[in-house]
Structure 1
């Protein structure tokens, strides 16, 4: 079946994670994505490892399937000409160069929109294209630090912590995907393209959601709570007889059900803990009382009891356990695909399940310039 974005062509001048993740999502949805690198390959993630499989980086594989690859030297007139020719028949062009770089290449939005007025032009930068930080390079780790995310992650003992994945890059990629699709939808009415200016810093701050809202309302600087929740109690990890598990009680009914499961119905009727605001206020009292009971049985025991009573809970699984989880296997979240260099590669599948235009992996993450002949030759340019 054709993908939902089957008739969309995307020229991808991005590298590393935010941009490539965005274009992989669009490629998964059926768009034709043309990845552009310097001759020999210039996406840094090709060399980020180990692990490597026959010299191919696992990091590169995670964000580059369903793309074709060409190489073009953007520091040469010939390389720029290739891009401008491709823009004529493309719907989207995306880059994540530093602010001002595309202008130096002569590939700014104003120039390319004259060539193709319907082009959607997405620019990802660390801090955006205006403001005092616009010329500063921005990377996920730096943005996690500056945005406040690290200040609320970890606890007093650990100090500020980054998330275990480059979450700002991933979120920026997803926001860029949303912006591109919105611009393409609007284009069906106006017939015109437009520019999307998106930054990692803006995205990270927007991801503060309730924590940011808490501060804006109260003026109180939020503190790192480790695995606890700022607005809900009990919503955290608890130690058990043989490990740890997560309890996520979202309302007062679930809280009283949990007290019954723990054999402590009196805690469900205690005036100090009747409502969630009460429990948040008396967090330092109720949490130790619950923790004492959780230590008497194993994680599996408590999970079974909680599931029987519709109390949200979950095990803390490592990645190996995740790949063996029967729910994820039923959802086909781990797939294999053939690669011309690496052989059979394993990948995490798309979470998008579309009924009529399903996501599918059509193309392995490409080698540098793998599709030069297919894409550049029809432009009637000399091989040189």
Structure 2
């Protein structure tokens, strides 16, 4: 079956996905979800190691590789490299996350490929960068979380560093790589030339540290863990009502006044300890204790309704089931349906950005390894006879 675009937005582009694990596949999924013809290149069955992402039948793999086609090529054989180069010649983009030296050893680095493909956009994702003292070091999500400073500002004070509950370094590196690819494709429209772009888990996490890095670079302050409370805006964080926990965010003096009124504590507005941001920062423990004491009189639902009606941001803290029970989440339609010929009906989270004229959907479930090998190779001019010979030699 030929390419079935998930959107008209990027349907004219072909992407060769040479990636594994999560960061690279995430970048390629972003492009696939907007309609690009993403061809996932994997090693043949007889050469594969352990499957990642819980195996190819697992929910993680199904989510990460939807909207792609799959081909197997043995890149340890010259014929496999030759077929890959022929495939790349038909494409706009290559995405890889080998260790930095591997692409040069295989002869599929940007400098080599761009000599015959001037318009090629080539994206590399690594743990720590393409050059430098740590370039050859293996990189994993939690390592980048730690080295970037993220774990030093996550978790409860005094309880040691804490990882974030999702593979945020992998995901952000993948999303930033996809953004870089789109920027390079836009620039190519003007120059006619492709280019090499690269990002890393470490760079992505440092960027995502955002205001925490500015606190050090501009103000010379080393941020510390603040637990569930905002480090600079008080009161903002997790508070406990009669039946559970919720988030409340109080930003600015006007919102503070409304918050005090709704909570039945108008005297806090003029209390020397709490009337301004500096006082609330110094006395954060006492004000938070007072807030929790008053919230304990009613259920979360009561406070969420009251605060939001008064213009004070407040929301429940859901488990994953609760997320999809939310009427607003159901209204947004972020859950998409697709029928897999291998697994039946699936429900997957779609893109969080809505393009009204060229929306994204899930048009194809994740493929089995090499499911589209022959159709793709025939698209680049290989005959049935040639494919039979190459198949017998274990090239695909």
Per the normalisation by structure 2, the TM-score is: 0.92
Take 2:167 and 2:344, find their aligned partners in 1: how far apart are those partners? 27
Q: Which residue of 2 aligns with 1:289?
A: 290
8 Å Cα contact 1:19-1:94 kept in structure 2: yes
Take 1:76 and 1:30, find their aligned partners in 2: how far apart are those partners? 31
Take 1:137 and 1:204, find their aligned partners in 2: how far apart are those partners? 16
Q: Which residue of 2 aligns with 1:347?
A: 348
Take 1:41 and 1:327, find their aligned partners in 2: how far apart are those partners? 47
Q: Which residue of 1 aligns with 2:3?
A: none
Moved more, 272-281 or 342-351: 272-281
Query: Residue 311 of structure 1: CA displacement?
Result: 0.8
Query: Residue 68 of structure 1: CA displacement?
Result: 0.6
Q: Which residue of 2 aligns with 1:87?
A: 88
Are residues 1:136 and 2:137 paired? Answer: yes
Take 1:148 and 1:295, find their aligned partners in 2: how far apart are those partners? 35
Query: Which of 20, 25, 33 does residue 25 from structure 2 map onto?
Result: 20
Q: Which residue of 2 aligns with 1:40?
A: 45
Structure 1 residues 93, 61: closer, same or farther in 2, change over 3 A?
Answer: same
8 Å Cα contact 1:126-1:200 kept in structure 2: yes
- Number of residue pairs the alignment of both structures matches: 380
Take 1:47 and 1:194, find their aligned partners in 2: how far apart are those partners? 30
Structure 1 residues 309, 365: closer, same or farther in 2, change over 3 A?
Answer: same
8 Å Cα contact 1:152-1:223 kept in structure 2: yes
Q: Which residue of 2 aligns with 1:77?
A: 78
8 Å Cα contact 2:337-2:362 kept in structure 1: no
| Deviations 1:142-166, CA, capped at 9 Å, x for gaps | 1111111111111135421111110
Q: Which residue of 1 aligns with 2:172?
A: 171
Q: Which residue of 1 aligns with 2:319?
A: 318
Secondary structure of 2:100's counterpart equals coil
Secondary structure of 1:313's counterpart equals strand
Take 2:274 and 2:240, find their aligned partners in 1: how far apart are those partners? 21
8 Å Cα contact 1:6-1:31 kept in structure 2: yes
Q: What is the root-mean-square deviation of aligned Cα atoms in Å?
A: 1.8
8 Å Cα contact 1:35-1:68 kept in structure 2: yes
Structure 1 residues 36, 99: closer, same or farther in 2, change over 3 A?
Answer: same
8 Å Cα contact 1:168-1:200 kept in structure 2: yes
Secondary structure of 1:11's counterpart equals strand
8 Å Cα contact 2:228-2:237 kept in structure 1: yes
Q: Which residue of 1 aligns with 2:12?
A: 7
Structure 1 residues 376, 57: closer, same or farther in 2, change over 3 A?
Answer: same
8 Å Cα contact 1:339-1:364 kept in structure 2: yes
| Deviations 1:237-287, CA, capped at 9 Å, x for gaps | 011111111001122211111100110001122243333344223323322
Query: Residue 47 of structure 1: CA displacement?
Result: 4.8
Unaligned runs of 5+ in 2: 1-5, 391-396
Q: Which residue of 2 aligns with 1:308?
A: 309
Secondary structure of 1:24's counterpart equals helix
8 Å Cα contact 2:21-2:52 kept in structure 1: no
Secondary structure of 1:189's counterpart equals helix
Secondary structure of 2:273's counterpart equals helix
8 Å Cα contact 2:15-2:92 kept in structure 1: yes
Take 1:65 and 1:140, find their aligned partners in 2: how far apart are those partners? 22
Q: Which residue of 1 aligns with 2:393?
A: none
8 Å Cα contact 1:254-1:311 kept in structure 2: yes
Per the normalisation by structure 1, the TM-score is: 0.95
8 Å Cα contact 2:43-2:74 kept in structure 1: yes
8 Å Cα contact 2:336-2:362 kept in structure 1: no
Structure 1 residues 126, 147: closer, same or farther in 2, change over 3 A?
Answer: same
